[in-house]
Amino acid sequence: MKNTYMNYLDWPTIPNDIIPSVQSIIDKPMRDRGKYNNIFFHPKSINDNVSNWIMNNICPILASEIKMIQYQVIYPNLPIHIDSGSRRVGLNYLLQSGGKNAETKIYNVDREEIISSTNINPFIWHYIITEMPHTVSNIEDVRVGISIVLTKKGEDIFFEQINYSPRE
């Protein structure tokens, strides 16, 4: 998976013993995001110990520019979308991929052409450029992961690290 739009990150693995069970994450209530709540993508509040571990173990420059960390539970048939709240990049860590055929796909702006398609492995930090249209297809059960939302400044710092020019 060597491309501009998604790639693995050389960040430390989260110790398994601090991560709650996937089922307990699925069972958590969805964060209330008003009009953004939908049946495909359920954001859930992160546990403090997991959040603290991440803030203490990732690149300190980015850690100080975290807007939010959340669990995300994704169900089949997630539509192609650009992230709400103008998030331009997601820093993610899967706990359960949703099946061996689950495929993260990024499209060109017109959504006519797939420009990147990857079967992302769990338990490895990775990023996805979420200002481009994207989806996850072929989810068989449920996909569960941890996701960091950076501040705009944090996103700009990250884009410089990966040598990516944002759309605006």
| Token digits of residue 119 | 């079967």
By CB under 5 A, the residues from 126 to 165 that bind Fe ion are: 130
The CA distance from 73 to 133, in Å, is: 19
**DSSP letter string, 59-84:** -HHHHTTEEEEEEEEE-TTPPPB--G
Interface residue with Fe ion among 65, 83, 131, 155 (CB under 5 A) is 83
The CA distance from 76 to 67, in Å, is: 27
Select from 1-9, 67-75, 82-90, 102-110 the region that touches Fe ion (CB under 5 A): 82-90
- Minimum distance of Fe ion from residue 132's CB (angstroms): 10
CB-based closest residue to Fe ion: 83
Which of 90/154 has CB closer to Fe ion? Answer: 90
Binding site for Fe ion (CB under 5 A): 83, 130
